[in-house]
């Protein structure tokens, strides 16, 4: 959102350094979260959530008062603290007949929130004269109370009932031996799924972190509403698609259909990017369609794919382990791409870099999705007959 007037250090723009620092922190939290979130117990989740978000918000305060380039440390801490929050929040929701719906609403709300918070940040800077350095902290001030209320409401949700456990299996913490058993049984499939998710994460992160740059290159830099307008429409369409999956009770059938949704999203993102690169599509429409396609592929992994995978094979464990396993390598890919662009001084603008990256990611992701579909179908047939 903030460009820091082109300031740079170590031969790299300060904006890019800040984004990389935050994503590195986020990535490390995912690797730590493979153990922490998979072993998470219900007691103490609320306090942990408040502590993590409080530290993340405090880091934005220090970002505003410390001189560059020490803000890198602040955003590293911010990313590291926030990286655990999805696992904590999803642990309240998984293992229920309504998990698909609740998880989808929560995941889709992140799309809307991303666009809405950018519009709020732009509003603070243009209408209230908030500086780039104070903008992140002041935006956090506006959303602090709603966040605390959300965590309190999650704490009030009753645990899964008998019918939930019958349909979706009991969700329990996973120790090291449980994680090794899962990887021994499904490691190949999880590895292929992770590669698909890696490319989706890279493209989603570039779009998310450099959205302001891309819209500026497309001629919409001073349009305050463009962020919330496009992301709201994307949110509603993705939520509608996810809601249709909620109605499918049979876990294997839902898992199979999720593969088709992911594949369809990759096709939409890839084809629209090819058209844009060849000047066959308007930039605004391209951003809308690629966003929709990428989130059609990305969102199911965070709320439905792993949830239904656990339920289909009656795994003694939790979806948090699988989400953080895939997330860790997904964000590792994002860090590598961002660093490569800066280290090798790739001479491309963000819209061009993003468009070509989406085409490559769509091709790799489609191949991975097909393999994953066939792999888990075969695993299910073997399990059913035995």
pLDDT, mean of residues 261-269: 96
pLDDT, mean of residues 7-33: 85
Residues with Cβ within 8 Å of 357's Cβ and at least 6 positions away in sequence, in order, are 202, 203, 206, 337
Cα–Cα distance, 124 to 122 (Å, whole number): 5
> What single string gives the DSSP state of each residue in 283-352?
HHHHHHHHHHHHHHHHHHHHHTHHHHHHHHTT-SB-HHHHHHHHHHHHHHHHHHHHHHHHHTT----HHH
Tally the residues of the chain: 386
Judge whether residue 115 has pLDDT over 70: no
- Per-residue pLDDT band for 283 (boundaries 50, 70, 90) equals confident
The 10s digit of each residue's pLDDT in 162-180 is 999 999 999 999 999 999 9
- Per-residue pLDDT band for 1 (boundaries 50, 70, 90) equals very low
Domain boundaries, the chain: 9-381
Judge whether residue 6 has pLDDT over 60: no
DSSP 8-state assignment for residue 161: -
Q: Which CATH class is domain 9-381?
A: mainly alpha
Cα–Cα distance, 139 to 122 (Å, whole number): 10
What predicted TM-score, i.e. pTM, was given to this entire model? 0.86
pLDDT, mean of residues 307-329: 95
Residue 2 pLDDT? 47
DSSP 8-state assignment for residue 171: B
**What are the structure tokens assigned to 299, written together?**
């969102």
334 or 347, higher pLDDT: 334
pLDDT, mean of residues 206-221: 80
Is 6 exposed, middle or buried, given 0-12, 13-18 or 19+ CB atoms closer than 10 A?
exposed
Least confident of 13-22, 91-100, 184-193, 215-224: 215-224
Backbone angles phi, psi at 171, to 5 degrees: -105, 120
Residue 77 pLDDT? 96
Cβ(137)–Cβ(61) below 8 Å? yes
- Per-residue pLDDT band for 366 (boundaries 50, 70, 90) equals very high
pLDDT, mean of residues 140-160: 87
pLDDT, mean of residues 84-90: 93
pLDDT, mean of residues 199-212: 85
pLDDT, mean of residues 343-359: 82
Residue of 95, 276, 230, 57 whose CA lies nearest to 171: 95
Q: How many other CB atoms sit within 10 Å of the CB of residue 65?
A: 12
- Per-residue pLDDT band for 101 (boundaries 50, 70, 90) equals confident
Average pLDDT of the chain to the nearest whole number: 88
pLDDT, mean of residues 58-67: 92
Least confident of 42-46, 123-127, 153-157, 299-303: 123-127
């Amino acid at each position: 959102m903030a460009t820091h007037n082109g300031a740079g250090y170590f031969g790299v723009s300060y904006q890019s350094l800040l984004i990389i620092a935050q994503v590195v922190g986020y990535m490390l939290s995912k690797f730590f979260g493979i153990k922490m979130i998979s072993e998470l117990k219900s007691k103490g989740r609320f306090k942990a959530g408040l502590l993590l978000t409080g530290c993340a918000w405090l880091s934005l305060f220090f970002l505003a008062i410390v001189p560059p380039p020490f803000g890198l440390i602040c955003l590293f801490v911010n990313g590291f603290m926030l990286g655990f929050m999805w696992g904590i929040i999803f642990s309240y929701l998984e293992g229920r007949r309504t998990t698909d719906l609740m998880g989808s609403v929560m995941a889709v709300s992140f799309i809307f929130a991303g666009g809405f918070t950018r519009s709020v940040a732009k509003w603070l800077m243009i209408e209230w004269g908030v500086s780039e350095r104070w903008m992140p902290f002041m935006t956090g001030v506006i959303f602090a109370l709603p966040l605390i209320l959300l965590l309190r409401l999650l704490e009030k949700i009753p645990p899964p009932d008998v019918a939930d456990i019958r349909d979706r299996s009991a969700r329990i913490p996973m120790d090291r031996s449980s994680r090794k058993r899962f990887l021994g049984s499904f490691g190949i499939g999880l590895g292929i799924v992770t590669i698909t998710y890696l490319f989706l994460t890279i493209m989603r992160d570039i779009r998310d972190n450099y959205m302001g740059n891309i819209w500026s290159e497309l001629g919409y830099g001073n349009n305050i509403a463009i962020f919330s307008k496009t992301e709201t429409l994307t949110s509603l369409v993705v939520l509608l698609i996810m809601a249709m999956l909620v109605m499918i009770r049979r876990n294997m059938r839902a898992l199979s259909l999720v593969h088709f949704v992911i594949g369809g999203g990759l096709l939409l993102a890839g084809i629209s990017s090819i058209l844009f690169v060849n000047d066959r599509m308007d930039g605004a429409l391209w951003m809308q369609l690629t966003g929709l396609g990428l989130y059609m592929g990305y969102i199911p992994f965070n709320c439905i794919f792993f949830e239904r995978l656990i339920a289909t094979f009656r795994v003694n464990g939790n979806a948090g382990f699988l989400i953080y396993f895939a997330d860790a390598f997904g964000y590792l890919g994002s860090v590598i791409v961002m660093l490569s662009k800066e280290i090798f001084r790739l001479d491309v603008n963000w819209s061009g870099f993003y468009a070509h990256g989406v085409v490559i990611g769509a091709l790799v992701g489609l191949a991975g999705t097909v393999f994953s579909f066939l792999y888990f179908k075969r695993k299910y047939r073997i399990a059913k007959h035995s």
